[in-house]
Amino acid sequence: MALLELKGVSLLTSGVERVASVTASVDAGQLVAIVGPNGSGKSSLLGLMAGLFTPTRGSVLLNGRLVSNMGLRELATERAWLGQSTPGADNFSVAEVLNWGRSFVAGETSDAQSALDEVVRVFEVQDLMTARMYRLSGGQRQRVHLARTWLQGARITLLDEPDSSLDETGRSILRGAVQECVRAGRTVALVTHDRGWAMSEADLVWEVCAGRIVVG
Amino acid sequence: MNVSLRGRFALIMMIGVMAVGVVFAASLVTGFADVSPQIVWSIRAPRVVLTLVVGAGLAVAGGLLQGVFGNPLAAPSIVGVSASGAAGASIGAALGIPFNSIPLAFMGVILAGVGLIVVRAIASRDGKVNSTALLLGGVAISFFSLALVLLASPFISREAGRSFSFWANGSFALATWSGVVAVAPLAIVGLVIAFGIASRVDPLSLGSVAARALGVDADRVTQYALVAVVLLVAPGVTVVGIIAFVGLVVPHALRFFLGPRNTFLLPASAVFGGLLVASADFISRNMLAPAEIPVGAVTALVGAPVFLVLLRQMVRRGVMSI
């Protein structure tokens, strides 16, 4: 059984069809790259996969269950999502923002400290823990939000252009984390404009155009 | 949890509670040493209790609004809650409902709720609230509501006219135990809701979609917060009128000492909001005694310069969100 299934999914907002009758599936442990021009519906598709938008038609299933029937806490345990640009939280410290990755998900948190130590090491944010978010550069902020997303420990992680504000070092950190995640049997789906990365490392590449997966 | 933050919170709360005790005692006896305990009990005590309840409500409401909308300029008097609550009070008074009464408190709650729903609906698109539209909508609702207050005033009876005059200026002069009974239970419910959702308000600073992705039902938290804001502000407005700056300044000032976590910020706002309004009322009675100046004038005289200093620091640091 596929981990995530999209069955004839469409999304209509403000009179515009962002996603049009998409049927696709992702298995556990796969890396899916979603590529396509600006405005083609990639972010909307990712939001539907994350259960953050309600499809106008069709259904999204996670582990065979309708995403729309899952509670937010349960959903946050099963899937993590990071948007294209994450605003605000300026006055919170990095440690406080990271803590949100585990605070609201369902289930036990006995290994919370070791999970925190691990993602802090992977995303190299050890020296930033007490800093307020407004003091960080765009790339540092993005690494903090990636670490927060990883902390959810979800089976599928959905990332919308996670590399857009990262420098070469940051991209290398991100790619290493994604590889490690997939190697551990977790699934990652990400929107990117880096076709080289998509073609060389992804198990599936979905080319999106006008709300449809035209190649995939 | 950050131990030093806990320590700072404990210290600040201790200072605040002690200061409240001092102001409470001073307010009961200052200038009234020669009056009977009965007068102190029936006139002065409800007045001081009401300053604490109203101040706590305004400050916690301000902190909640700033948290859920991620907007440091959000406050009850700016998003229109205070003015629409005042419209409810004046319409109720015009219909013959007495001041300091539970029915008038409910009139305030209803109108403030409607005002807040309208402002939020106007400022929202696809589930996201536009901060600028929220403030502009609040300003428009405030002017509209204050027009309703003026329109209702000719219909208020001559007997209630004196009360209306004090109320319209923002004053605790007519506070009674019935006023406390009209305000306190609803404010306590508001406080319970606010403290209950405090930790879930924090991630809303990332935006409602990101908060949902973390497992926080942003819509529900916002709805609870708005109900709390109405209960914390509107009943007080129907008894003492509009008191500005408390909801704006107190949470801002406390963020400098405690940071933005609402688990700490909201309880501290309750204590220091009460302290600020009780102190302002003390000053308003004694500065030009036996004349009394409106308490809202004192809070604005203190609050506006403090807020400008805080605003300048925010601009210098480039931090204009929560």
Mean pLDDT on B218-234: 94
Tell me the residues of B at the A interface, defined by beta carbons under 8 Å apart. Answer: 2, 70, 126, 199-200, 202-203, 205-207, 209-210, 212-217, 255, 259-261, 317-322
Residue B172 structural domain: 3-317
Question: Based on the structure, what is the number of domains in chain B?
Answer: 1
Give the other-Cβ count within 10 Å of A59's Cβ: 14
Q: Is residue B76 part of a domain?
A: yes
Assess whether pLDDT exceeds 70 at residue A9: yes
| Residues 116-135 (A) with a CB less than 8 A from some CB of B | 134
Q: Using DSSP, state whether B15 is helix, strand or coil.
A: helix
Taking all residues of chain B, what is their mean pLDDT, rounded to a whole number? Answer: 89
Q: Which of B2, B206, B217 sits opposite A86 (nearest CB)?
A: B206
Chain A residue numbers touching B317 (CB-CB < 8 A): 134
Cβ within 8 Å of residue A97, ≥6 positions away: A89, A133, A144, A145, A148
At B189 the pLDDT is 97
Residue A67 pLDDT class (50, 70, 90 cuts): very high
Q: Is residue B122 part of a domain?
A: yes
Mean pLDDT on B245-271: 93
Residue A147 pLDDT class (50, 70, 90 cuts): very high
Please give the helix or strand (H or E) that residue B231 lies within, else none.
helix B218-240
Tens-place pLDDT, residues B48-92: 999 999 999 999 999 999 999 888 888 998 889 999 999 999 999
Q: Which residue from B61, B56, B94, B52 is spatially nearest to B80, judged by alpha carbons?
A: B61
CATH code, domain with B286: 1.10.3470.10
Q: Is residue B146 part of a domain?
A: yes
Assess whether pLDDT exceeds 90 at residue A22: yes
Chain A residue numbers touching B126 (CB-CB < 8 A): 13-14
- What are the distances in angstroms from CA B1 to CA A96, A108, B222? 9, 18, 25
CB B83 within 8 A of CB B111: no
Report how far residue A16's alpha carbon sits from residue A159's, in angstroms, rounded to the nearest whole number: 23
Q: Is residue B322 part of a domain?
A: no
**Three-state SS sequence of A123-187:** CCCHHHCCCEHHHCCHHHHHHHHHHHHHHCCCCEEEEECCCCCCCHHHHHHHHHHHHHHHHCCCE
Residue A109 pLDDT class (50, 70, 90 cuts): low
Q: Delineate the domains of chain A, giving CATH numbers in brackets.
A: 4-215 (3.40.50.300)
In percent, the amount of chain A with pLDDT more than 90 equals 80
Whether the ipTM is more than 0.90: the answer is: yes
How far does B277 lie from chain A, in Å, by closest CA? Answer: 27
Chain B residue numbers touching A47 (CB-CB < 8 A): 209
Q: Is residue B157 part of a domain?
A: yes
Assess whether pLDDT exceeds 90 at residue B174: no
DSSP H helices in B124-169? 131-152, 158-169
Mean pLDDT on B140-155: 93
Please give the helix or strand (H or E) that residue A13 lies within, else none.
strand A4-13
Q: What is the DSSP string of A70-137?
A: S-HHHHHHHEEEE-SS----TTSBHHHHHHHHHHSSSS--TTHHHHHHHHHHHTT-GGGTTSBGGGS-
At A86 the pLDDT is 76
At B3 the pLDDT is 61
At A97 the pLDDT is 95
Q: Is residue B234 part of a domain?
A: yes
Report how far residue B181's alpha carbon sits from residue B176's, in angstroms, rounded to the nearest whole number: 9
Q: Is residue B145 part of a domain?
A: yes
Chain B residue numbers touching A81 (CB-CB < 8 A): 210, 213
Q: Is residue B195 part of a domain?
A: yes
